[in-house]
């Protein structure tokens, strides 16, 4: 099962198993990893599941859809490696993925 | 240090979230979450969508996994009803007589579907949609070739219509008003959604209401309309709004007016009692009025307000009310409420299924309804919250970025 490392803003690391088919957001929620709010439950409607994808993983996580880009455009502290984690589906290709959470989701 | 006993009555989206926020904000005292349903707190929005389509079940919908409650020392009592709030003794009385003393009580009992007193309504196969149990029954009845009559052209009805069509069932939506979404959206949106649903094969009966349900052997067979016509159906969903579960609060003499009345800290008239979520009538500072705001974001905001008031944590900044609905390939996102509106500005062309309707009070946006237009939704939400005057010309021009429409 793919392992994903979520790094909180203060540096605390959580490495957890997330099965294929779940989103990176769901992996955090289901493993009680703090720092991702996911208010809309993954409907791409709130931009509170914002993460920074580690540079080494940007290609494998793919690019955001137009809808996700538009939502991100209005989020806080957006960087080139920003993604909405509810839009990244976990596959074997993402085993070892590292994402960092922003200081705040709101 | 926040160390008192908190009892949360209601383990839905608001109640479950309040428990989590209390711990997040540093509350170290006992927290007991009491819920009538036999399920851990879960999200209801997917019940009309992913659940019906078989794409998500109990586990996927849980707000947090079971381990979260144990790890955070949150006692969870499921399948349990309360019978009385004893404000003087600061105790919640449960069915069976058990007493839960509290220093702070959070009422999060939510809402229940409004029932129609329809002759024939007690027949099998007339359903409502609020809980996972409801969704499971509805799902069992939807199959290719089955005919679903949906009473009520609101969000629940329309989302179920879209899901049912995806599953190959025939769908008729029976709406009392001249247009669908009459209570919650403007005419441009109503017309667009009616057209889109029709393209997907949904039949509409507008300006129509059901006089009676007719059946055979305890199974519904047809809905009889007020004009006498019969709509054949195998299954009926009643989706005509919800009523706040305020009874325990009212019996405890807490002011209720179509919702338990609360302030901006989610406090009731009793400083030891809070109320959050669909059960409440809450202030909307942006619109200077009280409102029964039925939405997930509102439930979350109030959960934070109550947790902040109890723990002394900073309260959440006031949010612009917002809402979303997914139907077919359409993402509808709404921000604000259309109070004191003079007219509308439409941005984009509804025929492309990418457009937004801005409800204007002079040059200020009061609300936005955005279809497949997240920039209009997010940008509109910011402008609504800031009460920032905009240029109507630039607003109506999709070539101008939402970040540049302000004056």
Map A61-105 to HEC letters.
Answer: HCCCCHHHHHHHCCCCCCCCCEEEHHHCECCHHHCCEEEECCCCC
- Tell me: pLDDT of B309 over 80: yes
CB B265 within 8 A of CB B315: yes
Question: Any idea where the domains of chain B sit in the sequence?
Answer: 6-112+243-311, 126-238, 329-404
Q: Is B375 on the interface with A (CB under 8 A)?
A: yes
Architecture of domain B329-404: 2-Layer Sandwich (3.30)
pLDDT for B304 equals 96
The tokens describing B306, both together, are 């109550």
Least trusted range by pLDDT, from A3-7, A31-35, B95-99 = A31-35
CATH value of B126-238 in 3.40.640.10, 3.40.50.300, 3.50.50.60, 3.40.1160.10: 3.50.50.60
List chain A domain ranges: 3-100
Does the beta carbon of B45 lie under 8 angstroms from any beta carbon of chain A? yes
CB contact under 8 Å between A43 and B45, yes or no, is: yes
Q: What is the CATH number of domain B6-112+243-311?
A: 3.50.50.60
The CA–CA distances, whole Å, from A68 to A46, A64, B245, B334 equal 10, 6, 37, 17
Q: pLDDT for B102-114, tens place per residue? A: 999 999 999 999 9
Question: Could you give the CA distance from residue A22 to residue A77 in angstroms, rounded to a whole number?
Answer: 26
Q: What distance in Å separates residue A96's CA from the closest CA in chain B?
A: 23
At residue A39, φ and ψ (nearest 5 deg) are -55, -40
Q: What pLDDT, on the 0 to 100 scale, is given for residue B218?
A: 87
Give the model's confidence band at B240: pLDDT under 50 very low, under 70 low, under 90 confident, else very high.
Answer: very high
So what's the pLDDT on residue B159?
98
Helix (H) or strand (E) holding B354: strand B354-361
SS3 B355: strand
- Dump pLDDT digits (tens) for B329-369: 999 999 999 999 999 999 999 999 999 999 999 999 999 99
- Give first-to-last CA distance, chain B, whole Å: 46
> pLDDT-derived band of residue B124, with 50, 70 and 90 as boundaries?
confident
CATH of A3-100, one of 3.40.50.10420, 3.90.1150.10, 3.40.50.10860, 3.10.20.30: 3.10.20.30
Smallest CA-to-CA distance from B384 within B407, B358, B404, B355 is with B358
Element (H, E) at B387: none
Q: How far apart are CA B199 and CA B181, in angstroms?
A: 18
**Per-residue pLDDT tens digits for B370-396:** 999 999 999 999 999 999 999 999 999
DSSP B190-233: HHHHHHHHHHTT-EEE-S--EEEEEEETTEEEEEEETTS-EEE-
CB pairs < 8 Å spanning A and B? 52
Mode of pairing for the β-strands spanning B170-174 and B147-151: parallel
Tell me whether residues A41 and B43 touch, CB distance under 8 A.
yes
Does residue A74 belong to the interface with chain B, where contact is any CB pair within 8 Å? yes
| Nearest-by-CA chain B residue for A47 | B378
Same fold, B6-112+243-311 and B329-404: no
Measured between beta carbons, the chain B residues lying within 8 angstroms of A34 are 24
- For residue B183, name the pLDDT band (cuts at 50, 70, 90): confident
- CA dist B343 and B389 (Å) reads 15
Taking the C-alpha atoms of residue B25 and residue B3, their distance in angstroms, rounded to an integer, is: 12
Q: Give the pTM.
A: 0.95
Is pLDDT at B121 greater than 90 in this prediction? no
């Amino acid at each position: 099962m793919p392992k994903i490392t979520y790094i909180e803003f203060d540096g605390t690391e959580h490495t957890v198993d997330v099965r294929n088919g779940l989103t990176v957001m769901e992996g955090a929620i289901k493993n009680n990893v703090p720092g991702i709010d996911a208010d809309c439950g993954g409907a791409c409607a709130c931009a509170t599941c914002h993460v920074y994808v580690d540079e080494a993983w940007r290609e494998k996580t793919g690019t955001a859809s137009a809808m996700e880009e538009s939502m991100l455009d209005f989020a806080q502290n957006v960087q080139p490696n920003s993604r909405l984690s509810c839009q990244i589906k976990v596959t074997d290709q993402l085993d070892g993925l590292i994402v960092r959470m922003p200081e705040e989701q709101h | 240090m926040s160390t008192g006993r908190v009892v949360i009555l209601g383990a839905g989206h608001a109640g479950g979230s309040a428990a989590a926020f209390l711990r997040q904000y540093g509350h170290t005292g006992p927290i007991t979450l009491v819920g009538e349903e036999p399920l851990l707190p879960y999200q209801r929005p997917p019940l009309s969508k992913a659940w019906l389509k078989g794409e998500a079940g109990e586990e996927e919908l849980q707000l947090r996994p079971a381990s979260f409650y144990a790890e955070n020392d949150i006692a969870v009592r499921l399948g349990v009803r309360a019978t009385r709030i004893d404000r003087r003794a600061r105790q919640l009385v449960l069915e069976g007589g058990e007493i839960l003393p509290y220093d702070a009580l959070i009422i999060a009992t939510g809402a229940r579907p409004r029932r129609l007193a329809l002759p024939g309504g007690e027949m099998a196969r007339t359903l409502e949609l609020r809980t996972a149990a409801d969704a499971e029954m509805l799902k069992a009845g939807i199959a290719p070739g089955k005919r679903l009559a949906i009473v009520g052209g609101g969000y629940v009805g329309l989302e179920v219509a879209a899901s049912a069509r995806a599953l190959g069932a025939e769908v008729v939506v029976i709406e009392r008003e001249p247009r669908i979404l009459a209570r919650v959206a403007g005419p441009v949106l109503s017309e667009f959604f009616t057209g889109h649903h029709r393209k997907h094969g949904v039949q509409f009966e507008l300006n129509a209401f059901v006089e009676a349900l007719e059946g055979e052997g305890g199974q519904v067979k047809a809905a009889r309309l007020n004009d006498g016509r019969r709509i054949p159906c195998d299954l009926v969903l009643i989706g005509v709004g919800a009523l706040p579960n305020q009874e325990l609060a009212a019996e405890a003499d807490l002011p209720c007016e179509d919702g338990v009345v609360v302030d901006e800290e989610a406090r009731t008239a009793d400083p030891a009692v809070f109320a959050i979520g669909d059960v409440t009538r809450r202030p909307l500072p942006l619109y200077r009025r009280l409102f029964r705001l039925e939405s997930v974001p509102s439930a979350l905001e109030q959960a934070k307000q109550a947790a902040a008031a109890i723990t002394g944590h900073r309260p959440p900044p006031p949010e612009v009310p917002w809402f979303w609905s997914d139907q077919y390939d359409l993402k509808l996102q709404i921000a604000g409420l259309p109070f004191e509106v003079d007219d509308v500005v439409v941005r984009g062309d509804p025929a492309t299924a990418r457009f937004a309707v801005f409800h204007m009070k002079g040059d200020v946006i009061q609300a936005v309804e955005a279809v497949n237009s997240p920039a209009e939704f997010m940008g509109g939400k910011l402008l609504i919250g800031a009460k920032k005057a905009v240029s109507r010309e630039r607003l109506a021009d999709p070539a101008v970025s939402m970040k540049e429409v302000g004056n």
